[in-house]
Structure 1
Amino acid sequence: MQPTVQTLLDRPELALTLLTPADRLAAGALAAPVTWAHSSDLADPTPFLDAGHVLLTTGTQFEADAGATFADAYVERLRKKGIAALGFGTEVIRAGTPEALVAACDAQGLPLFEVPYPTPFIAIVRTVADLLAEDAYARHTWALAAQRAISLAALRPDGLSATLAELSNRIGAWVGLIDATGALDREAPSGALGQPALGEVVGEARSMLRRGQRASRTLVAGESTGDQHRMTLQTLGGGGALRGVLAIGDSAELDQAGREVVTSVIALAGLALEQNRDLDRARGHLRSGLLRGILAGDTALAERVAAEMWGPLPAAPLRIAVTDAPAEHVDRLIELLELRVDERRGRLFFGRDEDRVVLVLEAGDAAIADELAAEFELPVGVSDPVAADGIARAHEQAMRALERARESGSGVVAFDEISRQGVLAFLARTDARAVALATLAPLAEHDAANGTDLVATTRAWLEHGGQFDATARRLGVHRHTVRSRIALAERLLGRDLSGFHARADLWAALLAVG
C-alpha cells in the first residue's frame, strides 16, 4: 500500500504528534496518499512541490511579528497546491509550533503534525522513500503474479473465458467482451453488470466497431438510475478489421501495474480472436465450396459435411437471400451469420460468392435478411419459396431482387414484389431509363412549355385500359378532354396508341422513369 499521512503518524520511531484534531479534518484527509516528503523554510515553497507531498519546515519564515494573516495565506497556498500534510520541526529555530499556524491549518483542514527535535527530517524522508519502494515492489510482484496466472488461464480449453475471469478476479471488477457483431460474447462475473449500464456499454462498443478504427473510450454507464459504473472500453484487432471490444469496470487496482496487466490481457485476447479468425477463414472457404455445390443442385456432399460441422441443411420449402459483402463489413457480417447459424441449427446455411454472401433459409425464417439490412445498411434480395430442386431458380430470383434493392442503397426486396408488377415492369427497370426519357420527352416538354398534363393523363389512361370515361372520372375532367389530350399525345409522339404494342411500349417507358 502507498504510504499515507496516517502511516507516518503510526510510526513510533518518528514520534510525530498530530496538532489538528482528526475529527475536525475532512473525511479521508489522513488517508491521503503521500508521494514524497520535502523540507523548505520558504515563505512560498509551492513552486517546488507537487500534490501529495508532505512539507517539512523548521519555521524560519515565521518571524516574530508574523501573525494570523501570514499563517492563513501560507496554509492557503499549500492547500491549493494539494499538499497532503505539513510537519513542523520544533526546538530548532523556535520552541513549539506557532499558534497562528495551528489555527490556520485547523480552519482550512490541512493536517499539521509536530516533529520533535530528536527526529531529523531525513528520517521522515527516508521512511516515505522506503514505503514507496515497498509499495512499488509489492505492485510489481502483484503484476507478475497476475500476468502469470492469466497466462496459465489462457492455456485452458476455453482460454479466452478463463483469461477474462482471471483478470476480473485479480482487479476485482466486471470484465466483458463484446464480439465483432456488437453482442456481449462473455463476461466475468456473469450477470454482475445489470441494465441499463450493460446496454450502454454494449451500445458504445457497437459505435466503436462501426467506426472501424482502433480506439479506447471511458464511459460512465448507468447515470440515469444513479447506479453509476465507470467503464474503460478498448478495441481488439487492427484498424479496419476489429475483432471486438474489451470492457473493464473501474478498480483501485488499475494503477500503472494494473494497466500493465490489462495490456497483457488485451494482447492475449487479440491473439485468441485472431486465431479464431484464421479458423473462420478456413470454415468460410469450406462454406463457399459447399454453396457452389448447393446452387448447382448437387446437395449430397453439402448435406453430409454441413451435418458434421453446423447441423443439417434447411428443409424445403426454401428461400435464397443474397446481399453484398463490402470489405469494411465482411468480418462482422460473417461473424454475425456464424452466430445465427449456431442459434438456428438446421435452419440457416450461408457462404461467400465472390463479393456477395448467399443465404439458404427456411421459407418462414426471413428475419435474418431484415437484420442484415438494418445492422449493416446493406441491400438484400430474397427469393420466393421453392422446393429443394428449385434452388438455382431461387438464386436467380434473389439476384434480381438484389439489383432492385441496390437502387435504394439498402433494405430488403423480395422477388414477389417485382413479380407482382409483371415482366414489363422488371424489364423497364434494367437499363431502359435513358431510352424511356427520350421516348416521353415530347410530352414532358409540351407540359413544361404549356402547363398541360399530357404525361399524367397518358399514364392514367393506360392504367385504366384505354377507357376514356374511367380515366375522366379518375382525373376529374370531361371524357372529351381526355380524348383531346390523348390525340395530342399521339401527334407529339408520332404513334397510333390504338394498338397493343404501342401502348405496351409507352407503358414500359412510364414505368422506367418511375
Structure 2
Amino acid sequence: MTISLRGLLGQSDLHLEVVVAGHPESVDAPISWVHSTELADPTPYLEGGELILLTGLAMKGNEADEDQRQYARRLVKAGVRGIGFGVGVRHREIPAWLIEQCERYGLPLFAVPAPTPFIAITKAVSRKLTDERQRGFTRSYHDQRQLMRSVHTLYPVSSIVSKLAEIVGGWAALINPAGTVIESSHRFLPVEISALGDALTFSVLGEAKFMNVKGYDVAVFHVASPAGDTLGYLVAGRKGSTGSLNHTPVAAAVSLLSLAISRSTDANRVLSRLRASMVRRCLEGRANSVRPYAHDLWDGMPAEPLCAMRLVGDMNALEAAQRLVEPFRKSLVKNLNPVVFGMVEDDLWVIVSQSNATEWVNQLSRDSGVVLGVSSGSTWYDMARARHEAYQAAAEAKTTGAASMQYGQGSGAGALENMLEPSLLRAFADLKLAPLRNVVFNLSTGPHANREAGDGADTLSVGAIDVLRAWIEARGTMEEAARKLEIHRHTMSKYMTRIARLLAVDLQDPGTVAELWFACRYARPDEA
C-alpha cells in the first residue's frame, strides 16, 4: 500500500500533531512526494498529490497579505494532500488565518515540532515510496512470469486470458476483429461487448482505450500481429473507479497474445484435422485404432455405453459448442468423462458416455444456433449404428424446429415423413391410390347389419380409399374393419379382394401394406 497522510501521522517517532483534520479523501489519498517551500503560491511547481512543508518565513503575524488570502484554496485546487507547519522556527504557533483557510477548504493541517526535522518526514515518505516501488517491480515480474508460463500450455490463448483475469482481480476477454468473443475468463461477462461501442475502432496500431462501464474500470487494447494485421482486441475489467485496473499486465498479455494467436492458429488447424480424421474412424466402429492417440486429442475416451451426437448449425455456433467440450479448458468437461469430438462434413460430432448424455444435451442445446441429434445407447463396436441414429435425429429436429431430438422419441413414422418434402408425399399418394380414385362401394346392396338409409344417397356408399384405410388401421383384421364401417365381414373381404385386384398388389406383403399406409395418410381430402 502507498503511504497516506493518515499513515504518516500515525508514525509516533515523528511527533506530528493534527490541527485541521480536513476531508477524509485527502487524509487517505496516497502521497506522491514531500515538497518544502515558503512561496506564497507554489502551485506552478506542483504536479498533485504532494505534501507541503513550510515554516512560515514569508508569513507576517496573524494577518494574511494579498498573496496569502487564497493560499489554501490554491493548494486544494492543485491536489495537495496537506500542509505540515514547522512551529518554533519563525512562528511559535500556526497563524490563525492559515488555520481558518484550511478549515474552510478542508485541507489537512498538522504541526511539526522543532525537534522533528523536515528531512525526517521526507525520508519516511521516500522509504515508503521506494518499498512500494520495489514491491511493484516484484509483483510485475511475478505477473509476467505467470503470463509467460501460459504461453507454453496446450491452449496458450485461452490460458493467457484466464491468467490475466486472475492477475488483475477481474475478468478478461479476447474479441476477434468482427467483435465476437472467442475467449473469456468467465462464461458470462459483467459488461456487454456491444456497450463498448467505438472503443473497438482503432486507427493506430497498438492503441489502447480506457473507460468506466457499469462501475467497472475497463481497458481495451488493440492486438496486432508482428506484420501489423489486426488479430482482435483484448478487453479487461475490474470492479471499481477509474484507475482500479492495473494496465501493466494487460499490456504484457497483449504482446504475448500477438505471438500466441499466430502460432496457435496453425497448431489448432492441424489438431482439428487430426480430430476430424480420428472421430470419423470412431463413428465407423474402428475405435481401437484411435485409442492410442485419444489422450493427446481428447484427454481420453468416454466409457461405454456411449451416445453419439450430431450438431448442425452455422460455423460460429459450432465453434462455440466445440469450446464447451475442449478437454483442457475450464468448462463442464472437468467434472465429466472425456469427450471424443471433431468436425465431419461441416457437422460437429460428439461421443459421450450415456451416463453424462443428458447433461451434455442441456449444455450444448443452449445455443439457439445449434440443432442436436442424439443416438440411443451404443458400444464402440456398434458406433456406425449410433451415427446413423444421431444423423436421423438431427435431421428430424431441424425439420420440426426442435433444439434437440433423441432418436426413437420423435413422432414414430412421422420422423420419416418429416425428412421428405410434403409435395413428394402427396405425389406418392396420388400415384399409389390412382386406381381407387373413383371407386365407390354401394352399401344399399348386400347383407349389412344394423344400417339404415338416411336422407342422402351418400350415407349408403363408401369410397374404396376409406375401406382400405379402415382395413390398415385394423391391422388387417377383417372383423374389426367391418365393425368400424358397420358392414358384414364377408362384404369387407369382398371389397378388399377388389381393392387388391385394382391396385395389383399382394396385401399379405408387409412392405406393400406400409406403402399403402403412407398413401392413405397423405391422400388428398377429395380422394378420401
**TM-score of the superposed pair, with normalisation by structure 1:** 0.54
Where does residue 98 of structure 1 map in the other structure? 95
Equivalent pair of 2:285/2:383 in contact (CA under 8 Å): yes
Give the letter aligned to residue 375 of structure 2.
S
**The residue matched to 1:506 in structure 2 has which SS?**
coil
Equivalent pair of 1:79/1:110 in contact (CA under 8 Å): yes
**The residue matched to 2:326 in structure 1 has which SS?**
helix
Give the 5 Å matches for 1:253-402: 259-261=247-249, 263-264=251-252, 281-306=269-294, 310-312=299-301, 314-316=303-305, 318-324=306-312, 326-339=314-327, 343-345=335-337, 348-364=339-355, 365-375=357-367, 377-386=369-378, 390-402=382-394
Where does residue 411 of structure 1 map in the other structure? 403
Q: State the 1:416 CA deviation.
A: 2.5
Q: 2:19 aligns with which of 1, 18, 21?
A: 21
Where does residue 479 of structure 2 map in the other structure? none
Measured against aligned partners, the alpha-carbon deviations of 1:243-283 in whole angstroms (never above 9, x if no partner) come to 998777889x978xx64245435655887788777655544
Q: In the aligned structure 2, how far is the partner of 1:242 from the partner of 1:409? A: 34
**The residue matched to 1:203 in structure 2 has which SS?**
coil
Give the letter aligned to residue 204 of structure 1.
L
Where does residue 505 of structure 1 map in the other structure? 523
Equivalent pair of 1:20/1:106 in contact (CA under 8 Å): no
Q: 2:189 aligns with which of 191, 204, 207?
A: 204
Q: In the aligned structure 2, how far is the partner of 1:143 from the partner of 1:353? A: 50
Q: In the aligned structure 2, how far is the partner of 1:292 from the partner of 1:338? A: 18
**The residue matched to 2:404 in structure 1 has which SS?**
strand
Give the letter aligned to residue 49 of structure 2.
G
Q: State the 1:358 CA deviation.
A: 0.8
Q: Which runs of 5+ in 1 are unaligned?
A: 185-200, 222-229, 437-460, 468-498, 510-514
Where does residue 426 of structure 1 map in the other structure? 418
Where does residue 187 of structure 1 map in the other structure? none
Give the 5 Å matches for 1:22-61: 24-25=21-22, 32-35=29-32, 37=35, 40-41=39-40, 51-54=48-51
Rate the CA distance shift 1:237–1:85 in 2: closer, same or farther, 3 A.
Answer: closer
Measured against aligned partners, the alpha-carbon deviations of 1:385-425 in whole angstroms (never above 9, x if no partner) come to 45656533433332333234335767112332445143663
Q: In the aligned structure 2, how far is the partner of 1:112 from the partner of 1:308? A: 67
Equivalent pair of 2:162/2:172 in contact (CA under 8 Å): no
Higher mean C-alpha displacement, 103-112 vs 349-358: 103-112
Rate the CA distance shift 1:342–1:157 in 2: closer, same or farther, 3 A.
Answer: same
**The residue matched to 1:374 in structure 2 has which SS?**
coil
% identity of equivalent residues: 19
**The residue matched to 1:264 in structure 2 has which SS?**
helix
Give the letter aligned to residue 304 of structure 2.
A
Q: State the 1:97 CA deviation.
A: 4.8
Q: In the aligned structure 1, how far is the partner of 2:9 from the partner of 2:411? A: 87
Rate the CA distance shift 1:86–1:307 in 2: closer, same or farther, 3 A.
Answer: closer
Q: State the 1:75 CA deviation.
A: 3.9
Rate the CA distance shift 1:288–1:83 in 2: closer, same or farther, 3 A.
Answer: same
Q: In the aligned structure 2, how far is the partner of 1:31 from the partner of 1:366? A: 55
Measured against aligned partners, the alpha-carbon deviations of 1:139-174 in whole angstroms (never above 9, x if no partner) come to 6554444444455556779977999999999x8x85
Rate the CA distance shift 1:286–1:265 in 2: closer, same or farther, 3 A.
Answer: same
Q: State the 1:373 CA deviation.
A: 1.1
Give the letter aligned to residue 381 of structure 1.
G
Equivalent pair of 1:3/1:131 in contact (CA under 8 Å): no
Q: State the 1:290 CA deviation.
A: 1.6
The structure carrying a bigger helix percent of its residues is 1
**TM-score of the superposed pair, with normalisation by structure 2:** 0.53
Give the letter aligned to residue 272 of structure 2.
G
Superposition CA RMSD, Å:
6.5
Give the letter aligned to residue 348 of structure 2.
V
Equivalent pair of 1:19/1:113 in contact (CA under 8 Å): yes
Equivalent pair of 2:313/2:371 in contact (CA under 8 Å): no
Q: In the aligned structure 1, how far is the partner of 2:282 from the partner of 2:337? A: 18
Q: In the aligned structure 2, how far is the partner of 1:210 from the partner of 1:403? A: 37
Measured against aligned partners, the alpha-carbon deviations of 1:213-250 in whole angstroms (never above 9, x if no partner) come to 989897999xxxxxxxx887989988999899877788
Higher mean C-alpha displacement, 140-149 vs 363-372: 140-149
Where does residue 440 of structure 1 map in the other structure? none
Give the letter aligned to residue 300 of structure 2.
G
Q: State the 1:357 CA deviation.
A: 0.6
Q: In the aligned structure 2, how far is the partner of 1:8 from the partner of 1:307? A: 59
Q: In the aligned structure 1, how far is the partner of 2:367 from the partner of 2:285? A: 31
Q: In the aligned structure 2, how far is the partner of 1:432 from the partner of 1:241? A: 49
Where does residue 177 of structure 2 map in the other structure? none
Rate the CA distance shift 1:277–1:386 in 2: closer, same or farther, 3 A.
Answer: same
Q: Which runs of 5+ in 2 are unaligned?
A: 175-180, 201-208, 429-464, 472-516
Q: In the aligned structure 2, how far is the partner of 1:400 from the partner of 1:82? A: 72
Rate the CA distance shift 1:96–1:331 in 2: closer, same or farther, 3 A.
Answer: same
Measured against aligned partners, the alpha-carbon deviations of 1:410-463 in whole angstroms (never above 9, x if no partner) come to 711233244514366325557769999xxxxxxxxxxxxxxxxxxxxxxxx99x
Q: Find out whether 1:112 has 2:112 as its counterpart.
A: no
Where does residue 84 of structure 1 map in the other structure? 81
